[in-house]
Structure 1
Amino acid sequence: MAPETSTSAERTGGRRSRRRGVPVPYDFRRPTKLSRQHARVLEITYETFCRQWATLLSSTLRTSVQVELDGVQQYSYDEYAATLATPSIMTVFDPEPLVGAGVLHLDTPLMLTFVERMLGGTGAHEQPLRVLTDIEAVLCRGMVERTLGELAASLTSIVDLKPHLSSIEQNPQFAQAAAATDVMIVASFHLQVERIEGTATLALPLDPLSAALSAAELRVASPEELRIRRLMRDRLDDHLEHIPVEVSVRLNATQLRPDQILALVPGDVLRLPHAAEAPLEVVASDTVVASAVAGSRGSRLACLIVPTPEESSR
């Protein structure tokens, strides 16, 4: 028995070190919209949910159950759905009063272990990867509804959640809980029932969740904290106004074939598709921010900002 206990501890320790010690790649094309402070609040909240969920499962299955938070990450719904195995238990619920839909996903073998223990079995054997029967689906629905109740109790400091279970899908590709590009905050959990291990994920829509976190933060903040926040925001705005930004002025671009480019020699003249009366584009970071006409100021080239063609046509 001692070697088995040691191995379990090593697995748990290794999982925690991977979550907290190893850097996670950052995709600058998809910046994180959840602030670090809000992410930390969610982690603390989900840690509470883990304890309450473990208590619920332990009393229901009549054995010790461990639930640990592996992390909180941001995904588009399409990316999240692509990570889910088929078949698996994907429950869609209405996270009232938050707008949108939430998803609680569990591994099918893990849920079958739960069902076996609820029906009086030991749940000690490896479960097959298959769809649930009608009876198993009813037991699964009851378990998920009680889990959503524990989730609502854990989120009381953030939002008065009243989740309603909408549907249970065993093929994640058929569950259209959100648009493909909708951003979700996904919490990953690791569950262990004696020697059986599995995973679960909880996905909530980012925008309404962030709004609820901000509102909860304002409710608990003292007047002095609010004053300091306003002061910090004003200072940040003042500094941003004086940060130098590189801008350029450009004409409309033209297109050339590779052979034309290779044939260019000093002195060649290129015809640009830019009318003489058309304004130039003022560009910052490849984004057009204004229109201008060319000119000079003393011995230096300069430009005069003018109304954009759209503004002129109004």
Structure 2
Amino acid sequence: MPEVLSQSQIDALISSMASGGAAEEKKEEKHYKKYDFYSPKKFTKDKLKMLFGIYENYARLCSSRINSIVRGSSAVEVAAVEEQRYYEFSNALSDNDVITLINVKMPDDTVNGPIVLHTTGPLMLCMIDRMIGGTGEEIEEDISNSYVYTDIEIALYNNIVKYLVSIMADGWMNYLDLKFELEKVETNPSMMQKIGRDETIVIIVLDVEIGSVKGKINICLPGNFLAGVFKIFDDNPERAERDEDSSAEIFENIKGTAMEIKAELGNSVLMLKDVYGLQVGDVINLNKPKDSDVFLYIEGEPWFKGELGKSNKNMAVKINEICEKI
């Protein structure tokens, strides 16, 4: 029995004859994620999620500490938490990079580590410049791989990382009682042999922004340190569950906190003589259409956009959308 062609095959055949070539049937390629069975993942998504929460706490503390160092405002947030091999991290470093080695004292008084902290060049030079009275705004972004720190800058570098290390224990406080101690600042990353090249590590990437300067703080957590940490939680699952729910408990406890909410209808600028001459019945132009959005401020920060209306004979604002920035 002859094969019956489908309509799509007939169309392809006619198109091929018209173009003078042979009909080719296109096949959709399936893409699969590669998995290295020789070096399987050691840490589950739940454990990486826990580390993300820990270093979210650290990022908030870090932002406050950097603000005090540079006498200005900064923004710090967790960009990524990834499991890698140490050689992937070390290969990304240049010979001129500077790394910080940090020892960790576990709850049983054993010393573990070292944790490796690396700050990108432009970010560190910005903090150094602000620390000694400069503006920190003229730092070039392409100097991270070529710039060589001077002896004075290394001394200031050491002072800055001491501040960053001193608050690490506070980031872990809700989970474990750990003590972090600065071992040394290493000016040649290739000389650091305390972590095997094939050892599993977890990289915490923090995005930092100070004015117009952006950079990263990379924190390398070695596998032996994390194995000791997770063993404590595996031996005491009730504690791990309690720590994971700590944020929910905190939120539950602060639900009764009173917060001031203001609705801004508009704003206008008047001369003092105009204000002095105001009388009953005068109209002030708020420079906004009458049907425009009304912004709701919670403790002085804009949270929502809405529209003006009434509820039970009272003025009210109907919330339409979340407002992150005006």
Calculate the TM-score normalised by the size of structure 2: 0.57
C-alpha separation in 2, matches of 1:178 and 1:45: 23
Matched to 1:122, the amino acid is T
1:93·1:167 contact (CA, 8 Å) conserved in 2?
Answer: yes
- Residue 177 of structure 2, aligned match among 155, 160, 168: 160
Aligned to 2:96: 87
C-alpha separation in 1, matches of 2:64 and 2:33: 31
Cα shift at 1:217:
5.7
Residues 1:178 and 2:195 aligned together: yes
**Structure (1/2) with the larger helix percentage:** 1
2:123·2:215 contact (CA, 8 Å) conserved in 1?
Answer: yes
2:102·2:113 contact (CA, 8 Å) conserved in 1?
Answer: no
The DSSP-based 3-state class of the residue aligned with 2:113 is coil
Aligned to 2:147: 130
1:58·1:65 contact (CA, 8 Å) conserved in 2?
Answer: yes
Aligned to 2:305: none
Aligned to 2:64: 55
| Unmatched runs of 5 consecutive residues or more in structure 2 | 1-31, 243-326
Aligned to 2:126: 113
| Deviations, residues 134-165 of structure 1 (Å, cap 9, x unaligned) | 22111111111111111111012333222222
Matched to 2:225, the amino acid is P
Percent identity between the aligned chains? 27
Aligned to 2:296: none
C-alpha separation in 2, matches of 1:102 and 1:144: 13
Cα shift at 1:35:
1.7
| Deviations, residues 214-257 of structure 1 (Å, cap 9, x unaligned) | 423654617x99xxxxxxxxxxxxxxxxxxxxxxxxxxxxxxxx
Alignment of structure 1 residues 1-314 onto 2, 5 Å: 26-97=35-106, 99-127=112-140, 128=143, 129-216=146-233, 218-219=235-236, 221=238
Q: Structure 1's 168 and 137: CA in aligned 2 closer, same or farther, altered over 3 A?
A: same
C-alpha separation in 1, matches of 2:34 and 2:173: 32
1:50·1:67 contact (CA, 8 Å) conserved in 2?
Answer: yes
Matched to 2:156, the amino acid is L
1:111·1:140 contact (CA, 8 Å) conserved in 2?
Answer: yes
C-alpha separation in 2, matches of 1:168 and 1:162: 18
Cα shift at 1:167:
1.9
C-alpha separation in 2, matches of 1:190 and 1:26: 28
The DSSP-based 3-state class of the residue aligned with 2:201 is strand
Structure 1 vs Structure 2 CA RMSD:
2.5
Runs of 4+ in 1 over 6 A off after TM superposition: none
Cα shift at 1:78:
1.9
C-alpha separation in 1, matches of 2:157 and 2:216: 16
The DSSP-based 3-state class of the residue aligned with 1:221 is helix
C-alpha separation in 2, matches of 1:207 and 1:175: 16
C-alpha separation in 1, matches of 2:224 and 2:33: 23
Q: Structure 1's 29 and 159: CA in aligned 2 closer, same or farther, altered over 3 A?
A: same
Matched to 1:77, the amino acid is Y
Q: Structure 1's 25 and 137: CA in aligned 2 closer, same or farther, altered over 3 A?
A: farther
| Unmatched runs of 5 consecutive residues or more in structure 1 | 1-22, 226-314
2:125·2:139 contact (CA, 8 Å) conserved in 1?
Answer: no
| Deviations, residues 242-287 of structure 1 (Å, cap 9, x unaligned) | xxxxxxxxxxxxxxxxxxxxxxxxxxxxxxxxxxxxxxxxxxxxxx
Cα shift at 1:99:
2.3
2:122·2:213 contact (CA, 8 Å) conserved in 1?
Answer: no
Calculate the TM-score normalised by the size of structure 1: 0.59
C-alpha separation in 1, matches of 2:188 and 2:122: 14
2:102·2:184 contact (CA, 8 Å) conserved in 1?
Answer: yes
C-alpha separation in 1, matches of 2:217 and 2:205: 6
Cα shift at 1:122:
0.1
